[in-house]
Amino acid sequence: MKARLFIIALFGLALAACHKAVETRHGTSLQPIASPDLSAIDSLMWQRPDSALAMLLPYFDTSISYDHYYAHLLLAELLYKNDSAQTNRAELQQAVAYFDSLADTPDAAFLAARAHYINGVGYYEQDSLVDACKEYIKALEMMEERFGEKELVGEKARFVAMTYTRLTVLFSDFYLHEQALFFGKEALEYYQKYDATPWHIAWILEKIGSHYDIMDNYDSADFYYHKSLSMLPDTNNLTYRDIATHLTYLSYKKGETSQTALNQLNSLLSKAESSKEYLARCLSIGEIYYLEQQFDSAILYMGLVYDSANSIDSKLFVAKRLQEIHLAKGDTALANSLAIFRSQYAYPGNRYGEQDSKLTALCNEYEKGKQETLQKGKTKMIMKQGEFILAIMLVLTLIMLIFHIAYKKRNEHLKKETENRLDAALQDHEKKLEEKELAIAEERRKAENMLKAKEIQHMAALGKARNTIQHLQEENKKLNEQQKQEQWQPKAPKGEYEALTGEGLCINIRQRLKKMDAFSSFDVKDHASLALSSQELSELIRLMDIHCPDFSRKLKKLYPNLNSKDIQLCRLYLLNLSVLQVAVLLGTDYSSVRKRTNRLKEKIGTEEIFLQLKSTFFEET
């Protein structure tokens, strides 16, 4: 007994000594705790990085402490989330080393992984892509080694998903498709472990599909594109149109006719909301014309991209295509000028070769290490399960042996005692059964009484409903009689519409709009001189009332939901104008007019506003 107590005391002293040694390491405690202010800023950062940055900036002090390194880590993260370059690289790298020294503690382990991640962002901003990749992978390894699958939820899952996404983008930039697919699918898995927005999930699905598309794995590309579309809450957005463009071009590559694909792409082109999107659609259309050897059309669309695109990659791609086209057409002068342009951006053949190899090696090493870790985990789990099962079997064997001995000794006594208990239980059960039968009978009687009462209430309610229906029928009859009295005024006589469009103001409007270039930008500010004045808008109202008396009141009566701005749009669309032309005449942003026009179509119930208004208010000539 004394020996056992001595061993226990010795073990306790050893634990105390270890704990003391860890506490004194680096002059800090094993479980350092951040100040409440920094913890609050950290929590706010995941939702409102702009507000968090404003709160953090006055917080810094010069003392070297846990909070000092924590604050610099938060500053680097917030600068990144607010689209600003890192300004504290030296302090951040000190924070990386500091949190690495505390990585065996739960809170600091997460901070250490975040420090490596944001340090990788800094390397990426400096174009040190291999170092950036190493830091991202180090962050993942720390998270996956320190935290189990059940712990990688919430902000931790979001952080891991964000890190995998950065790696996906990095390998995509180098067109390393296999590696990008590996990291993209890992990111997707973690997006589904926290409350990620549908937009983020749709983006990573599109990214995966695009790599399959480039690798000519059409079935997989089609699967991920459609899955991405299913995540979007609506179709009126840039992401939807980008994926629709991918699918259209994919269908063309799988055998769909070029005309069908071009019709779909032109429809998407008409919905472009920016010059960048417009040029992207032009590039897709031009590529199909190029593949179909319709070179004049290809030059038209690709020339727009070459002249207006800001992306060097896009300009180089279309320059290559245009060079090939001009060579095929025999125009060597233009082909040579394009070759000169391309040569200005030509890179040595091995510029990216070394980085490609290093990045590929890092990815393969990480993937191999992850597989080995998973295999070790499975082996360890199997061993633990075997040990657990063996222990259970031993315990069960011992219990069965003890039970057998006890049962043998007390068999007769237990048998008699059991019989007595069964008799008592049976009597008690019979008594309770009788009580339940009586209670059920009472409940049945109450239910029948309640049913009769409800039938009486139902009959009374039915009588009231009949009276209400009769009253409504009488009211409806009166309303029909009232509507018969309000007869629709006849349409304007034949020739009035031509008289309206022949008015001087209408002719002037058409002459103004002819000044717009066929490939004009969607920026209405470029056409400010064409906008109608308030006097001209008033004159248009007067002309409408002359050639279609009481136009506004009739329109409001037909469509009660229309407001004054809707009626103003109707007057302009009655002149058979496009959305862009209406936007220019009103001097209003194109996208705003397009959205108002879409709502007007819903209120009127037609896609053809001009035809609907003309047939409603004017007789055909």
Whether 346 is covered by a domain: the verdict is: yes
Q: What is the pLDDT of residue 604?
A: 93
Which structural domain range is residue 383 located in? Answer: 372-419
Q: What is the pLDDT of residue 31?
A: 53
Q: What is the pLDDT of residue 6?
A: 39
CA-CA distances (angstroms) from residue 78 to 62, 74, 107, 115, 132?
20, 6, 19, 12, 18
pLDDT digits (tens, 9 = 90+) for 495-550: 889 989 999 999 999 998 888 765 456 677 888 888 999 999 999 999 999 999 88
pLDDT digits (tens, 9 = 90+) for 388-431: 677 777 777 787 777 677 777 777 777 778 678 877 877 888 78
Compute the CA torsion angle 416, 421, 423, 428 (nearest 10 deg). Answer: 170
Q: pLDDT-derived band of residue 349, with 50, 70 and 90 as boundaries? A: very low
500/613 same-domain check: yes
Whether 130 is covered by a domain: the verdict is: no
Whether 163 is covered by a domain: the verdict is: no
Q: What is the pLDDT of residue 180?
A: 93
CB neighbourhood size of 535 (10 A): 8
Q: How big is the chain, counted in residues?
A: 621
Structural domain ending residue among the three candidates 313, 332, 360? 360
- Assign 618 to helix, strand or coil: strand
Smallest Cα–Cα separation from 500: which of 532, 539, 471? 539
User: Please, what is the Cα angle at 529 between 526 and 532, to 5 degrees?
Assistant: 120
pLDDT digits (tens, 9 = 90+) for 454-507: 878 877 777 786 777 677 666 656 554 444 444 455 688 878 899 899 999 999
388/298 same-domain check: no
The CATH number linked to 343 is: 1.25.40
Average pLDDT across the chain, whole number: 82
Q: What is the DSSP string of 490-514?
A: PPBPTTHHHHHHTSHHHHHHHHHHT
How many angstroms from the chain centroid is the CA of residue 471? 52
pLDDT digits (tens, 9 = 90+) for 314-335: 888 999 999 899 998 888 888 8
Sole residue written with tokens 């994926």: 243
Domain count across the chain:
3
291/402 same-domain check: no
CB neighbourhood size of 542 (10 A): 10
332/296 same-domain check: yes
How many angstroms from the chain centroid is the CA of residue 150? 24
Whether 106 is covered by a domain: the verdict is: no
Whether 516 is covered by a domain: the verdict is: yes
CA-CA distances (angstroms) from residue 219 to 206, 213, 253?
14, 9, 12
* Better-scored residue on pLDDT, 223 or 68: 223
Whether 430 is covered by a domain: the verdict is: no
Q: Are 354 and 348 in contact (CB under 8 A)?
A: no
391/328 same-domain check: no
605 contact partners, CB below 8 Å, separation of at least 6: none
543/593 same-domain check: yes
Q: What is the pLDDT of residue 384?
A: 62
Q: pLDDT-derived band of residue 570, with 50, 70 and 90 as boundaries? A: very high
583/508 same-domain check: yes
Structure tokens that stand for 221 in this block: 């590309």
Q: What is the pLDDT of residue 174?
A: 82
Q: Looking at residues 136-149, what average pLDDT do you find?
A: 89
Smallest Cα–Cα separation from 587: which of 536, 539, 542? 536
pLDDT digits (tens, 9 = 90+) for 120-132: 999 998 888 899 9
Please tell me the pTM assigned to this model: 0.55
297/378 same-domain check: no
